[in-house]
Amino acid sequence: MNKAALSSTDLSADPVSDIDFYIPATGPAKPRRTLKHDDTFVVMDSHGDIGASGGGVDGLFYKDTRFLSRFELLLNGMHPLLLDSNVRDDNSVFTVDLTNPDIYFEQQLVLPKDTLHIVRTLFLWRATAYQRLGISNHGDQPVSMRLSLVFANDFADIFEVRGIRRERRGTLKTQVADQAVVLNYTGLDGRGRRTALRFDPAPADLASGVASYVLDLKPRERQSIFVAVNCDNAPEITSIPFFKGMIAASRERKAASRKCTTVETANALFNQVLCRSAADLNMLTTETPDGRYPYAGIPWYSTTFGRDGILTAIEMLWCDPGIARGVLRRLAAHQAKDFDPLSDAEPGKILHEMRAGEMAALREVPFGLYYGSVDSTPLFVMLAGLYFERTGDEETMAELWPHIEAALAWIDGPGDPDRDGFVEYHRQTEQGLSNQGWKDSHDAIFHADGELARGPIALVEVQGYVYMAKQLAGRMARRLGLAGRADELDAQAKELAARFDTAFWCPEIATYALALDGQKQQCKVRTSNAGQVLFTGIAPRERALAVAASLMRPSFFSGWGIRTVSREERRYNPMSYHNGSVWPHDNAMIALGFARFGLRAPIERVFRGLFESATYMDGYRMPELFCGFQRGRGRGPTLYPVACSPQAWAATTPFALLQASLGLWFNPPENQIRLINPRLPSFLDEVILRNLRLGQSSVDLAIGRRGDEVALQVLRRTGEITVAAIHT
């Protein structure tokens, strides 16, 4: 991600710098609702309006451009009253129930409130927002009034919406026909973009910014109005197949999740959290030319992010390895081949971020294809190895091997510019991100006295990623018959582990340093980064136990989760983006690390804290992050105002925590699934996994809690597959 920490800032500064990625936190607003389908998403208020109330980032967006900035429903010039609104459980349809306010004419009440019922139904499909207004007269008298739909667009780039100010913009033009309005924009990049709105039936009046209907409804009479808003590239809309489109969109969603393992538990609240997470991840996952890819989050990150996609795939690998296959293929297709300082690109490097908007095309921002993350490349190799160990998919491994070798060459070459054996980062231009790990706020990497670290910077968790990547790549090389290459990679991993422990361990704080700065000085700061090291296996057991003990102390563990930075540190701030907040995905990675060392009690504490935090969230949705304040009796966690919600790697958190608890491990050569030291948290008495797949076989499992032990039952088995619970 590339969101800078919140601060008091002048956003009219130079075109691009870290500070330009500050996201303004505005005042109170109506709750926002979101829908997404592939490259299109919409942010609305609780009434279903766009741009009618302040405090939100409203709009219909397509490929990093806003295609509708206002869409507002009025009755006789007044806003309807909200009865209720909700997004369907699978995130497919937004429904709003509205009614009329008291309407007066010449100081006389001519229409009492609650006479009209308006059902507003909206869904997205194939770059089009479909909307139906169903209006019913529940009164005993005829009703005549004007219903207006007010609309507008600015074709703002997503970075403009986030706060960057541009001195020049393209030109706007509007075309009006009997039933349609086309809003056209010619950008400074020479590309034309358009928003086409079509109304059915034809409005009584249609102009460049408003469509008006005269409603004449008899008692109990109903009327429907359909609107389709198309973004950019679809052919002219000759009709509005609202119900046909809704059915087709539903079929697409069901087909996409057909091979995924489903989870059901004895805890109804946890089932709600799981269902929300699964629906969010399914919504964020997008069909791309290279396969299905989980876009990072809404509203700011609805695009391909390398790190986010990889970590999302890792956390979902046990139940849906197809996500990993799509991520690997897309990132391989866009792997850097040349040096480009503006994009922080170097041969073999894996993508950080991809953007398709006007500002990226003009290089007003460097993120068209941007490679400024130090960890995406080793994480790519890690994911390839973990995917192969999960699936045994030799065909995909052989297809990816040249890309894996190119990534390894970057790790040993440009990724280690001073050849000290550690992968480091330093942006090549002032337009790039100054911090290029997952904590990429400008103030996220610092020394114990609070001074910001100067690069090149070697992050602690990145060295662990490199270690695990080389171990897994060695195993893949051996399967490909490349014994010499396998031995070389094994030796490199072993040597790295020895150098890592010497360079990064800080006995005075009983954990690993956050980073080494450009002078090879340790950033002796207690952070959650050390926890992610455990997942990679680079830490010796005694170090892992010390790190785990540190992370579970009150200075780190808030009661809801592990903070990014300990309360003991100079820059700790529970309201910051990276310096004291709680990130669910970070906690999930740490829990998977705990599982590697058999640390069941800490897993349960983290699992319980995050589950209980989700029960306080709107719709049981796990957000990108929340504040790190200590848990108080009888109150929920404090939300972070501009966190992405939904967000992909947050949505995977409950599934990753369940994997950590059960100790799930897959052995394709022997067609075996193992549960290593399995344990269920006290709030889960039973878990049922359906369609848990390995190769062409699948199994349904029931896991029941018996105190600190579990009982395992196979409910269904297809093909040759064995399941075993192993206690070490």
Q: Which domains does the chain have, with CATH numbers?
A: 31-253 (2.70.98.40), 257-662 (1.50.10.10), 674-726 (no CATH)
pLDDT for 537-587, tens place per residue?
999 999 999 999 999 999 999 999 999 999 999 999 999 999 999 999 999
How far is Cα 582 from Cα 295, in angstroms, rounded to an integer?
A: 21
**pLDDT at position 228:** 94
Q: pLDDT confidence of 396, banded at 50, 70, 90?
A: very high
Q: Which residue has the higher pLDDT, 83 or 8?
A: 83
Residues with Cβ within 8 Å of 243's Cβ and at least 6 positions away in sequence, in order, are none
Contact 107, 82 (CB under 8 A): no
**pLDDT at position 249:** 83
**pLDDT at position 12:** 35
Q: pLDDT confidence of 248, banded at 50, 70, 90?
A: confident
How far is Cα 636 from Cα 634, in angstroms, rounded to an integer?
A: 7
**pLDDT at position 4:** 36
Residue 557 three-state SS? strand
**pLDDT at position 1:** 52
How far is Cα 5 from Cα 572, in angstroms, rounded to an integer?
A: 13
pLDDT for 424-449, tens place per residue?
999 888 888 899 999 999 999 999 99
Mean pLDDT of 524-533: 97
612's enclosing H/E stretch is helix 600-614
| Alpha-carbon 417 to chain mean position | 31
**pLDDT at position 29:** 53
Mean pLDDT of 199-220: 94
**55 has a pLDDT exceeding 70:** no
Residues with Cβ within 8 Å of 615's Cβ and at least 6 positions away in sequence, in order, are 269, 273, 636
Mean pLDDT of the chain: 92
- pTM for the complete prediction? 0.92
pLDDT for 287-305, tens place per residue?
999 999 999 999 899 999 9
pLDDT for 250-301, tens place per residue?
888 777 777 789 999 999 999 999 999 999 999 999 999 999 999 999 989 9
Q: Which residue has the higher pLDDT, 647 or 28?
A: 647
**pLDDT at position 86:** 93
**642 has a pLDDT exceeding 90:** no
Residue 530 three-state SS? helix
- Tell me phi and psi for residue 672, to 5 degrees: -130, 140
Which of 9-13, 196-200, 241-245, 347-351 has the lowest average pLDDT?
A: 9-13
**pLDDT at position 432:** 85
pLDDT for 141-181, tens place per residue?
999 999 999 999 999 999 999 888 999 999 999 999 889 99
pLDDT for 611-637, tens place per residue?
999 999 989 999 999 999 999 998 999
Q: pLDDT confidence of 601, banded at 50, 70, 90?
A: very high
Burial track 607-623 (b if 16+ CB lie within 10 A, e otherwise):
bbbbbbbbeebebbbbb
**pLDDT at position 519:** 95
pLDDT for 671-705, tens place per residue?
999 999 999 999 999 999 999 999 999 999 999 99
